[in-house]
Chain A
């Protein structure tokens, strides 16, 4: 059986995509995921056979558009309550490793 390009399953570079997703993988994890994701991509690739030209995309099914609110302040989470959840905070601010040398 011959497949044209659009029907061929894509092969993901798992290590590269994991870096985009900010997830570190061990070599063993990456190898296992590669096989599983190849299978999943081959399966979901069946959609490539469908003609979807006439179908507009569905973002969500609610049909809601442009829900407006009055431009008035509403109570939100107090600053202290939000900061209390931070893994590391100092002087009411989040602490992260330095990003500049």
Chain B
């Protein structure tokens, strides 16, 4: 197998090739590192490459396999969003305030991937502290969409999505606070899975909004996403918001998912309302038609409060962020701006260390939590959150899962929404409610616009309904080939002004 074939391998085919002795993890990892070095200046999907440490992990995996070791992800190279701590690697969250920071410990999800034999090959770009929907707010500059480098990859996990789409890694870990796995997966034509809040440990995941953050996988197939999901999921004593409920199912259960007979799938009327791009609507409806052809019964459902999701989210998430980001004050870790007094040091450190979007959200969050406005904004949004949860509980009591678009538009152009934060926020309309209601959601590729940009089908399941959602996604992928399409490599003269430092 030559290196061009190796970079095309997904997790499943790579594991099979290694099991047959046709591939070593070292060669696979080296091929991905070489390709990443060649392409990353154009895509800016990666913030750091592991190089020799990844090759050493790969050699150790090869040696273990020679001894009969068959762990779930043995020797599989995985890219990691640059806000999950991998001991000994940089962890910047795309922020200047953490440039130069080296993780002192493994996040729980990383420890579990490590135990399963994974190789940590690279770190992926993210909006600063995961605050954004385009991967443009990173201190490393914008990531480019592999399907069209003039467009954004979505965000905040745009680096992970672009890396998986562009064959820089067969799979990646990402995080989703208001859509940050599903939206970039849709924009880049990959599979992205946000598990239920509490299903996956957040320990070692740089905190943005702690009641909403959830770690999940991105991959090229639903089965591969499930492979990573089943390794990282489950209760963790280091995160008391994880659920004690056992993780059910396995990847094998997805292989036989070939129809949707006996399933009732709900179509939220509000998700096909004004504002949805006509091409995205047409592609989503075609995908839903495919689900009906596979045997699903379709029912319309009402989500009367879902239209308030964005407003609710943009009170709660900034509020939590303002508290979480208080820790970056230049004392214990991260960068410091020197000053004569302690107060000036705090102010200078945060002025220089935070970018515009982070400042905007921290100030907004400070305001909605401040005396006199707490009841009007924060407390009220928490109650609206309950109304949104109840909405989804009722809708999901009438059906097994919900189907709809992931995003109201396909990927937009780099810079298009930078000056208008509200326009950027409105792009989260179909994804934020899943976080607010504590559900699980999957994005699978479901077609391409006339300009060649991918779109995603959103499959939303009840809390801890992961296997149901994954089975629907697997059945859809077994009947379609959108997820197998691959973007052309960007031309060498692609006009990319991405900052490298």
Contact surface of A with B, Cβ cutoff 8 Å: 6, 10, 12, 14, 17-25, 29, 33, 36-37, 39-41, 43-48, 50, 52, 55-62, 64, 67, 69, 77, 81-82, 84-88, 94, 96-99
Q: Which 9 A-B pairs have the closest CB atoms?
A: A61-B438, A57-B382, A60-B211, A67-B240, A87-B336, A52-B383, A85-B333, A62-B198, A24-B351
Interface residues in B299-326 (C-beta closer than 8 Å to A)? 305, 308, 310-312, 314-315, 322, 326
Among residues of B, the one whose C-beta sits closest to the C-beta of A85 is: B333
A21 touches B362 (CB 8 A): yes
CA distance A57 to B390 in the complex (A): 12
From B198, B308, B386, give the contact of A56 (CB < 8 A): B386
Q: What does DSSP make chain A's interface, helix, strand, loop or mixed?
A: loop
From A36, A45, A59, give the contact of B382 (CB < 8 A): A59
A64 touches B329 (CB 8 A): no
From A37, A55, A77, give the contact of B364 (CB < 8 A): A37
Instruction: Classify chain B's interface size.
Output: 35 or more
Q: List 18 A-B contacts (CB under 8 A).
A: A10-B376, A21-B362, A22-B343, A22-B346, A23-B350, A23-B362, A33-B359, A57-B383, A58-B385, A60-B210, A61-B198, A61-B438, A67-B240, A82-B332, A84-B104, A97-B344, A97-B345, A99-B341
A97 touches B339 (CB 8 A): yes
When distances are taken between beta carbons in the complex, the residues of chain B under 8 Å from A6 are 376
B359 touches A25 (CB 8 A): yes
Interface residues in B373-387 (C-beta closer than 8 Å to A)? 373, 376-377, 379-387
From A24, A60, A85, give the contact of B101 (CB < 8 A): A85
When distances are taken between beta carbons in the complex, the residues of chain A under 8 Å from B241 are 60, 62, 64
CA distance A47 to B198 in the complex (A): 27
A39 touches B422 (CB 8 A): yes
- A52-B359 in contact given A40-B421, A62-B438, A96-B342 (Cβ < 8 Å): no
B308 touches A47 (CB 8 A): yes
When distances are taken between beta carbons in the complex, the residues of chain A under 8 Å from B334 are 87
A12 touches B367 (CB 8 A): yes
CA distance A39 to B420 in the complex (A): 10
Among residues of B, the one whose C-beta sits closest to the C-beta of A78 is: B104
A87 touches B380 (CB 8 A): no
When distances are taken between beta carbons in the complex, the residues of chain B under 8 Å from A25 are 351, 359
Q: A46-B308, A47-B312, A56-B386 are in contact. List 8 more A-B contacts (CB 8 A).
A: A22-B329, A43-B314, A44-B315, A48-B380, A55-B387, A61-B197, A61-B463, A64-B241
Among residues of B, the one whose C-beta sits closest to the C-beta of A21 is: B366
Question: Which of A45, A60, A96, A99 has the most C-beta atoms of chain B within 10 angstroms of its own C-beta?
Answer: A60
From A24, A44, A56, A96, give the contact of B347 (CB < 8 A): A24
When distances are taken between beta carbons in the complex, the residues of chain B under 8 Å from A46 are 308, 311
When distances are taken between beta carbons in the complex, the residues of chain B under 8 Å from A10 are 373, 376
B366 touches A17 (CB 8 A): yes
- A50-B384 in contact given A40-B421, A64-B240, A97-B340 (Cβ < 8 Å): yes
CA distance A97 to B377 in the complex (A): 36
A77 touches B104 (CB 8 A): yes
Looking at the assembled complex, report how far the CB atom of B358 sits from the nearest CB atom of chain A, in whole angstroms: 9
CA distance A98 to B338 in the complex (A): 12
Question: Which of B102, B363, B421, B436 has the most C-beta atoms of chain A within 10 angstroms of its own C-beta?
Answer: B363
Among residues of A, the one whose C-beta sits closest to the C-beta of B239 is: A67
B246 located at the interface, meaning its Cβ lies under 8 Å from any Cβ of chain A in the complex:
no
When distances are taken between beta carbons in the complex, the residues of chain A under 8 Å from B242 are 62
Chain B window 376-404, contacts with chain A (Cβ cutoff 8 Å), 1 for yes, 0 for no: 11011111111101100000000000000
When distances are taken between beta carbons in the complex, the residues of chain A under 8 Å from B314 are 40, 43-44
Looking at the assembled complex, report how far the CB atom of B394 sits from the nearest CB atom of chain A, in whole angstroms: 14
B261 located at the interface, meaning its Cβ lies under 8 Å from any Cβ of chain A in the complex:
no
B185 located at the interface, meaning its Cβ lies under 8 Å from any Cβ of chain A in the complex:
no
B363 touches A87 (CB 8 A): no
When distances are taken between beta carbons in the complex, the residues of chain A under 8 Å from B211 are 59-61
A86 touches B331 (CB 8 A): yes
Looking at the assembled complex, report how far the CB atom of B126 sits from the nearest CB atom of chain A, in whole angstroms: 20
B386 touches A55 (CB 8 A): yes
Interface residues in B184-200 (C-beta closer than 8 Å to A)? 197-198
Question: Which of B242, B379, B387 has the most C-beta atoms of chain A within 10 angstroms of its own C-beta?
Answer: B387
